[in-house]
Structures are given as structure tokens and as C-alpha cells.
Amino acid sequence: MEGADASASHKYAKELQVGVRVVQMACSLCQKLQKGSVGPSPDHVISKDDDSPVTVADWSVQAMISWMLSESFGRENVSIVAEEDAQTLSDDSATSLLASVVATVNETLAMAPRFGLKGPTKPLGGSEILDAINCCNSTGGPVGRHWVLDPVDGTLGFVRGDQYAVALALIENGQVVVGVLGCPNYSSKRKLVNNSSVRSDLWQEGCVMYTSKGSGQAWMQPLIQGHGSLEWPNSASVIRVSSIDNPVMATFCEPVEKTNSNHSYSAGIAHRVGLRKQPLRVYSMVKYAAIARGDAEIYMKFAKAGYKEKIWDHAAGVVIVEEAGGVVTDAGGRPLDFSKGVYLEGLDRGIVACSGVNLHEKIIGAVYASWDSSHL
């Protein structure tokens, strides 16, 4: 058996299959918004209180996935930790914005049968949409099951027609046990390149990657396009990390944004371990996807003082890389701790993901050798 069906006897089989389906739906929603075939222009961006951007896509994906998870598993059984809230949409001045979200969500939910899911019997109203967004108010923690959602990871990438991702994970008793990563602009056939702008003929070539903890495998399949429907198995293939362990040949990824990432320190580490290639700067968790399927070997992120990493920016990508054969730790070599709530509390200096142990040990060693002089 292939794809999500390969885990049919697995403890998390239903969670994995529903997760893949709702992320596929979310990617379809985002692609339509980017192409302008539904809703407002994708550059209709609002700044949140922390100055980070949010769009109709962010709210629409969160509302849609929240509603579908509640329908699939029972609202009383679903705890969701997610990035967005509905405060802005609830303002009297946001009537047209809420109307755009409602229209976008309902158009997507109407396609649920194509994805093997059951949609609502009638369109959802504004209050139901707001309720679905506000239901994503869990803070996670060490006990119980918590879905973790970043509806549009890399909103700037989405707005600019570059890389972004829809990231959904399931955490059980502090451990990430299911990860699904939808990458609408990451072709299942083409490698990433720096400063890639998405051409019109590439809109239809996204992919979704997914895994469950302990499966020892991660899978990738194309996104559904046109009038197709999602059937299992559906063109899924096993992905593995790169076998390259020579730093001279290795490619490393880092965030595009400089606000919360120290590019100069990463460059120093790269030089110390002998990396020769220019860094591949990528929006969103597509960096994890690139390592999981062998397009890159290293991802480094060293945040500036005071910045706290959120679990929704890493959970899905981490488990996919690990099950594809890679290694992900903090910069002290310890596993990331997803049991402390919304933030990766106790994170040691930064995050290092590698395709193999040898590269990982070199990076961690370079961090220890250089940190005292880094002034971070």
C-alpha cells in the first residue's frame, strides 16, 4: 500500500488521512486566492498587533480546517492551537473582510466530497466562521491531544507569489505524532532555487508531504488539480533525505526574513564547517520539506535575543524530516520540546535540521566553538 494507506493499521491512521485531506483542501483554497479566482486580491494584507501580516487566506484556512476537524472527530474531542484569532474580523469595520472569508470558506467546503470528506449541509454564516476561528484557542501542553495549525506559514511568501505552506500537526502528550505539510508552490518535480518567482505554468504543481511518528517513512504526493478527486492511494511516493554528508557539496537553508533570524551568524557557522554553496533562503516550513525530500541537507535558524519560536512554525516539518531519515534538534543538540505550550520553551540558541548525523554533529560542534564570540 502507498501513501496514507500505508499506515492503515497505525494508531493514527484516521488522523493522518483526515489531515492530508483538509490540507489538500486548504492548498486549493490558497491557490485560488493567489490566482484571483475567488475572494480579494492576495496582496490585501492586514498588519496584526505585532506587525506580522495576515490575509483572507490565513483566516479562511483556519476556519475551514477547524470546522472540518470538529466534524471529523467531534468538537468536544478537538483541541486546536493555531496562529490566528478572529478579533479583527469581529470589528464592525470589517464587514466586507468577513464576507470575503465567509465566501472563500464556503466555496472550499462545497468541494469536500472531492477530497473524501463530508461538508456542511448548508453554507456557514459569519457567526459560524468566527466561532470556528475562535475555537482554535488551545494553548497545548504536556497532556492530551492537540492539533497545531499554521494556516499560511510564510504569509509574505504567499503575498509575493513565492513559497509558503499550510502546516498541520497532531501533538499527543507532548510528542508530535502526525505531520502534514502542504506546499502549493513547491513543485513535486522541480527543486527549489533562490529568489524563485512562481510562473503561471507552475501554479498547478504543488505537493503535500506527510507522516506519522514511528512509521519510519514520509510520503509526498501532488496536490489535486482541476476536476480530479482524492483517492487513496493517490500518486504517493516515499521521500528520503539526501545521502550527502560532505559539507562542500551540501546545501543549507535559512529564513528569508532577517527580523528574527541572524544571517551573519549562520554564515559564520557555514564557513566554519566548510559549506561552499550560497544559502537557500526560503519562506516558511518549505525549508523542512526541502530537507525531507533531499533538495537540501541543512537548515539553520538562530533567532535574535528575545524572540520565542512558536510550535506551529516547526511541529509538522520536524516530524516529517525525522521520519524521512533526518535529524532535528536545538543548537545544543537536544530534541525540540513541544510540551510546554505555544512556545518552544527552553530552546538552546537556535534550531538545526540536517539530513544526517555527520552533518548535524559538525554544525552543533561549530555552534559550541563559536557561540561565546557571537554577541547574540
pLDDT mean over 205-221: 94
Report pLDDT for 43.
Answer: 45
Q: How does pLDDT run across 225-280, given as a tens digit for each residue?
A: 655 555 545 578 999 999 999 999 999 999 998 878 899 999 999 999 999 999 99
Res 7 pLDDT > 50:
no
| Cβ pair 161, 195 in contact under 8 A | no
Catalytic residue among 58, 162, 295, 330: 58
Q: Domains in the chain and their CATH numbers?
A: 3-239 (3.30.540.10), 247-373 (3.40.190.80)
Q: Is 153 marked as binding a ligand?
A: yes
Report pLDDT for 42.
Answer: 46
Report pLDDT for 199.
Answer: 42
Res 37 pLDDT > 60:
no
Catalytic residue among 108, 155, 251, 329: 155
Report pLDDT for 314.
Answer: 98
pLDDT mean over 106-113: 96
Q: Is 50 marked as binding a ligand?
A: no
The CA-based diameter of the chain, rounded to the nearest angstrom, is: 61
Residue 58 catalytic? yes
Q: How does pLDDT run across 354-374, given as a tens digit for each residue?
A: 999 999 999 999 999 987 665
DSSP result, 239-307: E-------GGG--EEEES-STT--HHHHHHHHHHHT--SPPEEESTTHHHHHHHTTS-SEEEE-PPTT-
Q: Is 337 marked as binding a ligand?
A: no
- Tell me the average pLDDT of the chain: 89
Report pLDDT for 192.
Answer: 76
Residue 121 catalytic? no
Q: Is 372 marked as binding a ligand?
A: no
